[in-house]
Chain A
Amino acid sequence: MTHTTQFGSIAAFQSGGIQPIDDDPKNYVFSNVFAVAGKSAPYERIAVGKNLEYVIEAVRAEGISPWYAAPHDEFALAMDGDVTVEFVKHVVNAEIGGTAGAKLLTTEPQGKKMGWVRLRRGHMALLPVGAAYRFNAQTISCLVIQTIAGPLTVERWALICHTQALS
């Protein structure tokens, strides 16, 4: 017997849902990363998971992103598509230090080129502290990012989460 593994993409996904018995569906903060990325602007960082200061962000990767840096590690997982990540050495300075989370760099980083990685479905990359990074996706792709909530994190739970029972 052969088995087919079902992955999703922004173009094709089938979400599940919640059948409450004695509960409020909102307690489960249920969304779908492909649905969220599909309705987002390129490189908006939409929180789809939150546990105190920590977040998982869903990102629609499309074209070239701005440069980002964070005062801590982050991790990017390609859920679908084809995304290149460029890295440039960038010390944690006043612009990106202080508070947690990714920051938008206002100028092109001037440090040494560290290299790049190319991610396809299922690939995970370290976005290391001490590096500025930017994404480049020639096709619409979906990333999830393990990070800490910061000024770029967008929380719009009421718009993205299931609030009704699965029919």
Chain B
Amino acid sequence: MQTQALQSNFRTTAPNPSTGFKGFEAGAFTFARDEYFAHVSWPDGKHSMPIDAFLRALMRDIAWGFFYGTVNFDGVFGTTNHYGEVEMFAGSMNEAYTSTKRDFLQRFSADDLMKTFREMIDDWTVEGYDPFAAPMETSVPWGPKRGKNSSAVTRQRVTAKRMVGMPGDTPVRSDASGYPVNRMFADVAQDAPEVHAEPGFEGQISAYNLFGYVSRSDVTWNPSVCSVLKDSLFCPTSEEFMLPVEHGNDRCEWFLQLSDEIVWKISDGKTGKPRATVTMRAGDICCMPADIRHLGFSPKRSMLLVWENARADLPQMIRDQKIPVVAVRF
């Protein structure tokens, strides 16, 4: 695979006198927002997205550290993680663009691009709007610049080292720690498991209420690492409305539906052509193959356990066809 030179042009332009929002440049890409839309331009093209959809996608790309594989903001614009470096593209995952050679792609240091993305979300997110929140739980992003919501857009993704609730690890959530039960999970039991450690074994025996923990999540579509077995990561998350990105897999990823229902629209990872619709209800478990992209719809807030294998060389093993794009053949 040909490696592109890393781009070094990063620039922030003065606030637009009409809207009050700053503009941004990264490589040959430029970004601007107005009262309703985000506009992305590159040397031979331009693309616009509704600002709410753009900010929700940008927020996940930031929070996930460009995640595993490709984060398609929509069918045109997105990023692909190369773990330390990132490709930003327009049309590269869209057959209409690639077949006419109208796609455009540049490569960046992940840290450098992340700085620009963080600055962008901080400037473009207005007071009262939370791109992590379900639409019914936040104000609107429209209009000219009015204040900020820095505390919402700088939340840190939870990553337990061993398991939530263990001594020295990420704590359980509670009313007192600022995590009330979400309105759609008011009926979820909040009882704690009984834990009886013999003297001398305190802290070695541990359990917590994972469903209660997820019911108190203040964000949507933002998996938290809650238990860790080497590269095997259990990442539960609360989901409502729709996944703000089409996540393109670079490895197999498993979903275990813990409650309620999510419908997944599955498309080909490279072309975007539809492949399947997967409906998951409580107890259902399935694999997202490594060559697809997926977009989820959750009409009621639901609990999903995302299971990742964080092994660093998996994408290359798949590209080299050392392992298949499906997790199990039978």
A interface size (C-beta, 8 A): 71
Q: How many A-B residue pairs have CB under 8 A?
A: 233
* Residues B188 and A117 in contact, CB atoms below 8 Å apart: no
Please indicate which of the listed interface residues B166, B204, B232, B259 has the most CB atoms of chain A within 10 Å of its own CB: B232
The stretch from A61-69, A90-98, A144-152 touching chain B is A144-152
* Residues B287 and A29 in contact, CB atoms below 8 Å apart: yes
Q: A51 near B: Cβ within 8 Å?
A: yes
* Residues A117 and B204 in contact, CB atoms below 8 Å apart: no
Choose one: B201, B207, B211, B279; the contact of A125 (CB below 8 Å). Answer: B207
* Interface hits, B34-88 → A, CB 8 Å: none
* Interface hits, B215-270 → A, CB 8 Å: 226-227, 229-232, 234, 251-252, 254, 256-261, 266
* Residues A115 and B198 in contact, CB atoms below 8 Å apart: yes
Determine the chain B residues whose CB is within 8 A of the CB of A25 once the complex forms.
276
**Nearest B-chain residue to A75, judged by Cβ:** B227
Determine the chain B residues whose CB is within 8 A of the CB of A166 once the complex forms.
279
- 0/1 interface trace, chain A 94-124, chain B, CB 8 Å (1 if under): 0000000000000000001111111111111
Given the known inter-chain contacts A51-B327, A117-B195, A123-B193, please indicate yes or no for A30 contacting B230, CB distance below 8 A. no
Determine the chain A residues whose CB is within 8 A of the CB of B226 once the complex forms.
124
**Nearest B-chain residue to A37, judged by Cβ:** B283
**Nearest B-chain residue to A87, judged by Cβ:** B205
* Residues A51 and B193 in contact, CB atoms below 8 Å apart: no
Q: B175 near A: Cβ within 8 Å?
A: no
Determine the chain A residues whose CB is within 8 A of the CB of B278 once the complex forms.
16-19, 28, 30
- 0/1 interface trace, chain B 281-297, chain A, CB 8 Å (1 if under): 11111111100000000
The stretch from B3-11, B15-23, B121-129, B178-186 touching chain A is B178-186
Q: B101 near A: Cβ within 8 Å?
A: no
* Residues B256 and A114 in contact, CB atoms below 8 Å apart: no
Determine the chain A residues whose CB is within 8 A of the CB of B234 once the complex forms.
75, 146
* Residues A13 and B283 in contact, CB atoms below 8 Å apart: yes
Q: A3 near B: Cβ within 8 Å?
A: yes
* Residues A148 and B229 in contact, CB atoms below 8 Å apart: yes
Q: A59 near B: Cβ within 8 Å?
A: no
Choose one: A3, A73, A115; the contact of B183 (CB below 8 Å). Answer: A3
CA distance A12 to B9 in the complex (A): 58
CA distance A144 to B255 in the complex (A): 13
* Residues A29 and B326 in contact, CB atoms below 8 Å apart: yes
* Residues B276 and A52 in contact, CB atoms below 8 Å apart: no
* Residues A5 and B207 in contact, CB atoms below 8 Å apart: no
* Residues B326 and A27 in contact, CB atoms below 8 Å apart: yes
Q: A136 near B: Cβ within 8 Å?
A: no
CA distance A33 to B208 in the complex (A): 21
A sample of 22 inter-chain contacts (CB < 8 A) reads A6-B282, A8-B281, A16-B278, A19-B278, A20-B276, A21-B276, A26-B329, A27-B326, A28-B288, A29-B326, A29-B330, A51-B251, A51-B307, A112-B200, A114-B205, A115-B198, A116-B196, A122-B189, A123-B210, A124-B209, A126-B227, A158-B330
A contacts, CB < 8 Å to B: 2-8, 13-23, 25-35, 48-52, 54, 56, 72-75, 77, 79, 87, 89, 112-126, 128, 131, 142, 144, 146-148, 155, 157-158, 161, 166
Q: A8-B281, A23-B266 are in contact. List 17 more A-B contacts (CB 8 A).
A: A3-B183, A5-B300, A15-B281, A25-B276, A28-B278, A34-B283, A54-B229, A54-B309, A75-B163, A114-B197, A114-B198, A122-B211, A124-B207, A128-B205, A147-B229, A148-B232, A155-B328
